Structure 1
Amino acid sequence: MLKILGAVLVITAATLSGWIQARQYANRPTQIRKLILALRRLQTEIMYGFTPLPDALQRIGEQSGDPIKSIFTGASTDMNPPFNRTAQDSLQAAIESNWKYTAMKAAEKDVLNQLSFTLGTSDRKDQLGHIATAVRQLESEEAAAREEQNRYEKMFKSLGLLCGAFIVILFY
């Protein structure tokens, strides 16, 4: 009886770990899409709203879902008093502190970091161009993420169960 309980626990743990890994592959394209939509909203705020950057980032953060929300609201908070940090410093700090909560990879992080170098330092037209470039780069990353999802999501779900069964077989 104890062996059967142990076998069930091993299979359950291995299956859950496979499902968790598969969920990372499923969440990445969704989060990239949310990030693209947030950057497009930022474009609109800059182009038509004439909204100060901290207020625009706060508004965009509130409209976005987690974990994208925490990046933009964190950057907005750092740009306002009492911190008064630059747009680059605040966005990079928000990225560093909140990136671990995302399913995104280093390529998306690099795109945001590159955008932070130009955000708030140039005229409106130049900023819109840099945001458009970031959106295009993220769209190509989203396509790659969807391809990875199609390739690996089902595999990790099955692999978790199979590894659990293999471990149980080895111990019996």
Structure 2
Amino acid sequence: MFKMFGAVLVLLTATLAGFMQARQFAARPSQIRRLILALKRLETEIMYGFTPLPDALRRIGEQSGEPIRAIFVNAADNMSSAHPWTAQESLEQAVMKLWKYTAMKAPEQEVIRQLSLTLGTSDRKDQLGHLATAVRQLESEESTAREEQARYEKMYRSLGLLCGAFIVILFY
């Protein structure tokens, strides 16, 4: 009786681990897409809104879903009067602090880090150019993420179940 319960528990745990890894592959492209949309909104705010950068970051964050929301709102908070940080410092700090809660990987983080180096330090036209470059780079990463999702998502689901079954057979 206890052996059967243990076997079911091992099988269930391995299957859930496989599903969690598959979920990471599924979440990455959608989070990259949301980040691209947020940067396009920031582009619009800079071009037409004449909104101060902290206010623009906060507004964009509030329009975005988690975890993108947290990054932009945290960056805006860091630029408030309580934290008189530059745009680069605040965005980098927000990314370093909150990136672990995303499904995105290092290439997307590097794109945002590179963008933070120029955000708020140059004229409007130059910032729009840097935002457009970041969007193009993220679109490339999104297509890579979609390919990885198609290739690995189903495999990890099956692999979790199969590993669990293998462990159960090994111990029986």
* 1:81 corresponds to: 81
**Structure 2 counterpart of 1:10:** 10
Deviation at 1:144, TM superposition (A): 0.1
Q: 1:97 matched to which residue of 2?
A: 97
Specify every segment of 5 or more residues in structure 1 that has no aligned partner in the other structure, as ranges: none
CA RMSD of aligned residues (A): 0.3
Structure 2 spans left out of the alignment, 5+ residues? none
Structure 2: distance between partners of 1:136 and 1:32? 12
Cα deviation, 1:11-68, whole Å, max 9, x if unaligned, reads: 0000000000000000000000000000000000000000000000000000000000
Equivalences for 1:15-164 in 2 at 5 Å? Answer: 15-164=15-164
Q: CA deviation at 1:82?
A: 1.0
SS of 2:157 mapped into structure 1: helix
Any idea what SS the aligned residue of 1:6 has? Answer: helix
**Paired AA for residue 29 in structure 2:** P
Question: What is the TM-score normalised by the length of structure 1?
Answer: 1.00
Distance in 2 (CA, whole Å) between partners of 1:131 and 1:52 is: 16
Give the distance between the partners of 1:84 and 1:78, measured in 2 at CA.
7
1:165 matched residue in structure 2: 165
Q: Distance in 2 between matches of 1:120 and 1:7?
A: 57
Residues 90-130 of structure 1: per-residue CA shift (max 9 Å, x gap): 00000000000000000000000000000000000000000
Amino acid at match of 1:140: S
Distance in 1 (CA, whole Å) between partners of 2:76 and 2:34 is 18
TM-score, with structure 2 as normaliser: 1.00
Percent of pairs with identical residues: 72
Amino acid in the other structure paired with 2:133: T
Q: Tell me how many residue pairs correspond in the alignment.
A: 172
